[in-house]
Structure 1
Amino acid sequence: MTTTSTPTCGCPEGLAAMAPSRRALLAGASVLGAAGATLALAGPAEAMTRLTFADAGYTGDTLVVLSFRGGIDGLSVVPPVGDPAYYTARPSIAIPQSRGLALDTRFALHPALAPLLPLYTAGSLAVVHAVGQPNPTRSHFTDMDEMERAAPGSSIRTGWLDRMVGATTTPGPFAGTTIGSTTAPRSFLGDLTSDLSMRSVDSFTLSGAWDATETARWTTALRAMHAGDADAITTPARTALDALTTAGTLRTAGYTPANGATYPSGGLGDALRDTARLVKAGVGLRAVSIDSGNWDMHTDLGSSTGGWMFGQLSEVGKALAAFMTDLGSAADRVTLVTLSEFGRRVTENGSGGVDHGYGNFSFVLGGGVNGGKVYGTWPGVAPDQTQAGDLKATTDYRSVLAEVLEKRCGLTASGILPGAPSERLGLLRAKA
C-alpha cells in the first residue's frame, strides 16, 4: 500500500518486492462472500453480544505491526543531529539541528513528525535506534523474508505472527488480521491460525450479494458446501464467514473516531482508523499487520521542508497521532511497533537519495510504553564506526518484539522467536 501520491521510484528489486504478495487468504473470493447469513439469522443485537466475549482466554495487548516497506531511512526519521559525522555524510539531505524536533541531546524527530512529539513527551512513544537483523543482505526480498520469518539459522518456515497468534488460546476470526490489503504478509504464513485480510471494514462484504436475502442464500450454500471437509478447508471458510458477519454488524453501526481524532486521507490513516475501530469493538484482535510502502528513496529524498520523505512522514505522523487519540483509554491494551527490512546507507548518493543499508530505528507506541526516551546503544556514523558504510545494528529487532510478547502479550517469546537474544531494553511495563 503506497501512502502518498509520490511516484514510486526505487531499485528494480524494490519495485518487484513492493508488488502484492501472491499468498492470498485461503478463504478466497468464493468464501469472502459469506458475511451476511449469520447476521441475518441472529440479528445485530445478538452479533454484538458475541463480540463482547471475543477476547475470552486472552488478556494480552493487541500487537499492531506497522511495516515500512522498501527500507525506510532511519537517519532521516530520527536523525542524530548531535553527531557531527552525520552532517559530513549528508551535506544535502541532513536535517538541520535547528529544524529537528529534539528528543535528547543527540537525536531529533524529522520535522514532518511534529504530531508525534507530544506522544513522546507524554511517555507513550519510545524510539529504539540502531536496530537491525543479525544477517543483513541489503536485499529487499531476502531481508523482508527473514524479518517476517524471524527465525534466522533455523529450518522454520512459518511467519512469526502466525506463531504468535497460534500461541494464544482460542483465537477467533479476527485474531490475526491484515488491514489495508487483501493479501497477508509472510509473517502470517503458517498453519497455526487462519489469518484474515481486508482492505477495510466497510468494504469487507459478500461479492455479488446485492441484498440480505441473497447474502443469506450464499452463506447457507457455502456452509453446506464445506460441511464435512477437512479442517484445512473448513477452518478458513468458517473464519471468513464469521468475520464477515461481524463486519456487517460494524458497518451497519457506522464509526466516528473518538476524542476529536482526525485521520489523514490515504491508506495508512484508513488502516489505523479501522484498527482502532476493531480494537474498541472487542472483536478479538491479537495481531494486526499494516503496510506502508514507497520508502525506497534512492533519488530525490527531499529536504527538511518538503519533498518525498517529508510528504510520506507527514502522513505517518498524523495517522499515528490520530490512532492514539482515537483509542483513548483503549491504548492501554494496544502496543504498536514499526519495522522495516533494512535501513539506508549513512552517506548520501549523487542523486539526492540513499542506497540500501543496515541499521535502522523502531517506534514503539502504546499505553504500556516507557516512552520519552531513545533506547539502544548508539554506534556513531563516522566512517570508522560504520559497518561497511552502514549504521551498525546494536539491537536485534527480535529483542524489541520479544519484550512486547513477554510484557504486554503474556507469551513466552522463545517459542515464537527462536534464538532471539535475551537482551531487554526496558521499553515496556509488564501488563497487570
Structure 2
Amino acid sequence: MSAPCTCPHETPAPTGMSRRTLLRGAAAVAGLAALESTTLSTRLAFGATAYTGDVLVVLSLRGGFDGLSCVVPHGDPAYYANRPGIGVPKAALLAPDAMFGLHPAMAPLLPFWQAGTFGAVHAVGQASPTRSHFSAMEEMERAAPGSSARTGWLDRTLGLSAATSAFQGTYVGSGGSPSAFAGPVAEMAMRSVDSFSLSGVDAKNRARWETALKAMHDGAPPVLAAPAATTLAATATTGALAAQGYAPANGAAYPSGGLGSALKEVARLVKAGVGLQAAAVDYGDWDMHAGLGRADSGWMRDKLTELSRALAAFATDLGPAMSGVTLVTLSEFGRRVKENASGGVDHGHGNAVLMLGGGVVGGRVHGTWPTLAAGALVGGDLRGTTDYRAILGEVLQKRCGAGSLSTVFPGLAATTSGVVRARS
C-alpha cells in the first residue's frame, strides 16, 4: 500500500498548454489560432519534413522509480549487502544472466523479453542530478542542460516534422500535458477517445456548435481558419472512432486503472492511423520511502504487476503494428542503493529505463554497469553512466527518422549503444 512522501518536494502534476485545454468553445479558437501561427513559423525555420517514423510512446514513471528492484543486479555482491530486507532473491528472478534478472512481477513481459522486443538499459542518469522531484523532472523534460532552451524535448521533436494531424503529439490521461510538450507546437490532451469533445458542449448541441464555428470562420484568413478546421477535424475523428467502439485485439487484457486505460487509448489511436507521432502517458506513485515490500508482496510488487500487465496488453493488442512503435519509460531519478530503516529507499540517481517495441534490441540489459561498490557510488547512489538523452536520441535517429539532434538535445554528443535497430 502506498505511503505518503515525506520528502520536501512532492511530484508535481504535469503542466503545459494543450489543444484540449484551449478548446473552450468558440472563444477559444482565436487563442488556438495564435498558437498555430507560431507553430507554423517554427516548423518552417526547422525545415520540417513529412513524418515516416515510429510512433514514440513516452511512459513517465513519476515519483522516482526504483530500477534496482525491477532490473536486479544479483551478480553484484553489494546489492544484497545493501538490501537485506527488500532485495529480490536470485532464485525468484526471471531470465537471469550473470549480472541481472527481472523482478518476478514482470512475468507478463517475459515472452516479449524472450522474443527480443522488450529490453532495458541500466545505470541511466541525468547530466546534473538532483534529488528534488520537481527540479529533476523539470530538467528531464526540458532535456537541454547548459542551454537557454525553455521548451520541452517532445515539442522540439515534433517541430522536426510537418504538421499533418491534430493528433501528432498527444497526451493521454487524466492530468495536463507534461512539460516535455511545452513550446510552440500545439499538442492534444485527452482522457479517452470516447470522452473527447469541445469543452462545455454536450452531444445534443454539438452539431449546432460545429455549424456555428464553420460559419464564423468561413472566408477568414488561413491563420484563423486553419486552427478552427483542425479543431473540427479532431472532434469529427474522435466522434467517428467513438461510434465504431473499440475492442482490444489478440486477446489482450488491459488491467483496470489509469495506466491500462491510457495505453489502450494509445493503441486505439495507433491502429486508427490518425497521424500520431508521439504519445505521452504518466504512471505515478513510485515514491517508496517506506514499505517497498518483498519480492512476493507489497507496494513494489503490486506496481510492477500493473505496469507489466499494461505493457504486455499494449504490445499484444497492437500485434504486427508494434513493429512501428517504440515505448520508453523515464523517471526523474532512481533510488538510493541502501534500504532505509522504514523498509524503503530514498531519492537516488542512476536508474533503469525499460524499452518495448519492434525495433528494440531486447532480451538483454544495455549500458555500462559501474558496480554498487562503495567507491563507485555517488553520494550513496548508483552512478549514471548513460545519459538518458543518448537513449532517446538513438531512438529518434534510428526509429523516428530524425537527422541531427542539435535542435532536440542541444550539446549532446552523438552516441550509439545499440538499444534499437535502424528502421528499414
Q: Same fold (TM over 0.5)?
A: yes
CA deviation after TM superposition for structure 1 residue 181, in Å:
2.9
- For 1:219-251, what per-residue CA distance to the aligned partner results, in whole angstroms no more than 9, with x for missing partners? 2333455675894x7666554432221111110
Alpha-carbon shift at residue 392 of structure 1 (Å): 0.3
Q: 1:198 aligns with which of 166, 187, 190?
A: 190
Match in the other structure for 1:53: none
* Number of the residue aligned with 1:19: 13
Compared CA separation, residues 195 and 31, structure 1 to 2 (3 A): farther
Unmatched tracts of structure 1, length 5 or more: 1-5, 35-55
Letter paired with 1:373: R
* Structure 2, unpaired ranges of 5+: 29-48
Show the 5 A alignment for 1:5-84.
6-7=1-2, 9-15=4-10, 17-21=11-15, 23=17, 25=19, 27-31=21-25, 57-84=50-77
**What are the residue-to-residue correspondences of 1:4-403 with 2, within 5 Å?**
6-7=1-2, 9-15=4-10, 17-21=11-15, 23=17, 25=19, 27-31=21-25, 57-191=50-184, 193-211=185-203, 214-225=205-216, 228=220, 231=223, 238-403=229-394
The structural deviation recorded for 1:101 is: 1.1
Q: Check conservation: 1:27, 1:240, Cα contact below 8 A.
A: no
Question: Aligned AA for 1:294?
Answer: D
Q: 2: distance between equivalents of 1:27 and 1:260? A: 35
Structure 2 CA distance for partners of 1:328 and 1:384, relative to 1, 3 Å: same
Q: Which residue of structure 2 lines up, in the alignment, with residue 416 of structure 1? A: 408
Asked whether 1:431 is paired with 2:402, we answer no
Shift of 1:19: 3.2
Distance 2:26 2:172 in 1: 15
Letter in 2 for 1:198: M
The count of residues paired between Structure 1 and Structure 2 equals: 403
Q: Note if contact 2:20-2:188 (Cα within 8 Å) is conserved in structure 1.
A: no
Equivalent-residue separation in structure 1 for 2:16 and 2:360 (angstroms) = 35
Distance 2:167 2:7 in 1: 35
Identity %: 55
Cα offset, 1:373, TM superposition? 1.3
1:27, CA displacement in angstroms?
Answer: 4.7
The residue identity in structure 1 corresponding to 2:359 is: G
Matched to 1:30, the amino acid is R
| Contact 1:376–1:425 (Cα < 8 Å) also in 2 | yes
In the TM superposition, what is the alpha-carbon distance from 1:81 to its structure 2 partner? 1.0
The one-letter code matched in structure 2 to 1:190 is: G
After superposition, the CA RMSD in angstroms is: 2.3
Equivalent residues of 1:33, 1:218 under 8 A apart: no
Q: Which residue in the other structure is 2:37 paired with?
A: none
Give the letter for the 2:4 counterpart: C
Match of 1:45 in 2: none
Q: Return the letter of the residue paired with 1:253.
A: Q
Residue number in structure 2 paired with 1:42? none
Deviation of 1:419 after TM superposition, in Å, equals 1.5
Q: Deviations over 1:52-92 (max 9, x none)?
A: xxxx9321000000000011001011111111100011111
Q: Which runs of 4+ in 1 moved over 6 A?
A: none
Q: Is the 8 A contact 2:24 2:200 kept in 1?
A: no
TM-score by length of 2: 0.90
**Could you tell me the TM-score, scaled by structure 1's length?**
0.88
Q: Deviations over 1:336-381 (max 9, x none)?
A: 0110010010001111111110000111111111111110000011
Deviation at 1:207, TM superposition (A): 4.3
Q: AA paired with 1:428? A: V
Aligned position for 1:407: 398
The AA in structure 2 aligned to 1:72 is: F
- How many Å separate the matches in 2 of 1:273 and 1:32? 31
SS at match of 1:102: coil
